[in-house]
Amino acid sequence: MNDSMFPAAKPGEPRDQMRKRRVFTILRKPSTKYALLAAGFVAVVVAAAFAYANRPIYVQVAAIEENVPIRVFGLGTTEARVLSKIGFEVGATLAELNADHGDRVSKGQVLARLATGEQDARVAKAHAARLIAEVNIAKSAANLEKARAVFTQKQETNRRKQALAGRDVVSQQAAEEAIRDEAVAKADVAVAESEAESAKAQLTDARAQLQYEETMLRHRTLVAPFDAVVIERHKELGSVVKAGDPIFTLIAAGSYWGLAHIDEARAGFIEEGQPVEARLRSRPLETFTGRVVRIGLESDRVTEERRVYLRGENPPSRVFLGEQAEFWITVAKLDKALLVPSAAVHGYDGRQGTVWIVEEGRLQRRPVQFRHRTEDARLEIVAGVPADARVVTRLESGLREGRAARATEAASR
């Protein structure tokens, strides 16, 4: 720096005092003054920014909650456990209908009949065949009795003639004819016995044929197999139906239940007997209760859902099959629980993840383990949080490990 810029030293002036005078002279220059002011301003701003960035941050933390129900949600429909499409086992013209849509019918009640003219004739013919068989039984019995009487007579005649032939009273030819007559009478008895057995067999066949024809006649009458509600009538009078064609769709009275489709990821804790709350789409202001009664053993491979069947305890007076319903299954009730929103968890894989905690007034990240998940997407922490630490429930900007933090508890839900 040029010494001409500074005032000359005074004779006998101390060196320190000379330096101070020179510095004061420099500071009196405008350019130097502005540069120092700018540097001071920047230093103040940096210091303020540093202080602001490292100020204690207020974070919301989770509080221990009591009596927390864990419910699993599922969409589904109302169904019937026992549903049958009933019809005739034979084909003919539909001649009578005694039930219609919405009717309640009792077990054994006649619902419909087919025309029976042809089958009535077959039954009458079978009756006649049975009567003929019974008459043949009586006839064969009489013939057998006659054959046995003749055989007995021939035996006695042969015995006498053989005795007389031994005393030469009758000729040898007569004795031989007596033997032959006895043999013929014995054969006639055997024939009569076989005819009697044949008549019995024919009677058995006639009875079986009659039973078959009567059964076929009964098949032309359709009766309710159980106490039921008629859901639909498929045919009308005069229709020619084939064997197996459905005439009515019935559901057993009181067999309504709900079918819920549950995400496999949430279905692991569901068990039979757990309580259920349901709301029908047509009755959104009412809540119906029930229990889990069956868990399907096969999941849907496309939707990855499990079928859960539910029995209602207070079903509505009228149920519509296939109506959409919402179901909440209570799988557990936690006496005490530490819950954190899933949005505050990083890397959640269904079992564990990482959360922010406040420990000794400083922010830290900790891996923790979870178990249940609530219907509002909060996770139950079961391990990984120190006893004196608090879990952050809302991610704020400025979260950094080691930063000072002050915790405020979130409101209980």
DSSP result, 149-203? HHHHHHHHHHHHHHHHHHTTSS-HHHHHHHHHHHHHHHHHHHHHHHHHHHHHHHH
Domain boundary among 333, 350, 370: 333
- Distance CA(109)–CA(41), nearest Å, equals 100
pLDDT for position 2: 47
Q: Tell me, yes or no, whether 94 and 61 share the same domain.
A: no
**Residues 125 and 36 placed together within one structural domain of the fold:** no
| Same domain flag for 322 and 400 | no
Q: Where among 333, 365, 400 does a domain terminate? A: 333
Do 238 and 94 share a structural domain? yes
- Residues 141, 283: one domain? no
Question: Which CATH number goes with the domain that contains 340?
Answer: 2.40.420.20
For position 1, what pLDDT does the model report? Answer: 46
Is there a single domain that holds both residue 326 and residue 339?
no
Same domain, 233 and 295: no
- Would you call 315 helix, strand, or coil by DSSP? coil
Same domain, 41 and 183: no
> Block means of pLDDT (10 residues each) for the chain, length 413 residues?
49 60 56 62 60 70 91 93 93 93 93 92 92 90 88 83 72 78 85 88 92 91 94 93 93 90 92 94 92 93 93 86 94 93 90 91 91 90 90 86 82 59
Nearest CA to 349 out of 370, 334, 328 is that of 370
Q: What is the CATH number of the domain that holds 313?
A: 2.40.30.170
In a 3-state reduction of DSSP, which class is residue 44?
helix
Residues 101 and 194 in one domain: no
Specify the amino acid at residue 168.
D
Q: In DSSP terms, which residues pair with 85 in a beta bridge? A: 249
- Separation CA 183–CA 177 (nearest Å): 10
Number of independent structural domains in the chain: 5
**Is there a single domain that holds both residue 265 and residue 285?**
yes
CATH number at residue 91: 2.40.50.100
Inter-residue contact 262 to 304 (CB < 8 Å): no
Q: Please say whether the beta carbons of 241 and 105 come within 8 A.
A: no
Q: Residue 92's domain spans which residues?
A: 87-113+223-250
Based on the fold, state whether residues 202 and 329 are members of the same structural domain. Answer: no
User: Among the three residues 316, 333, 350, which one is the final residue of a domain in this structure?
Assistant: 333
Does residue 210 share a domain with residue 122? yes
In order of 50, 53, 398, the CA distances from 47 in angstroms are: 5, 10, 18
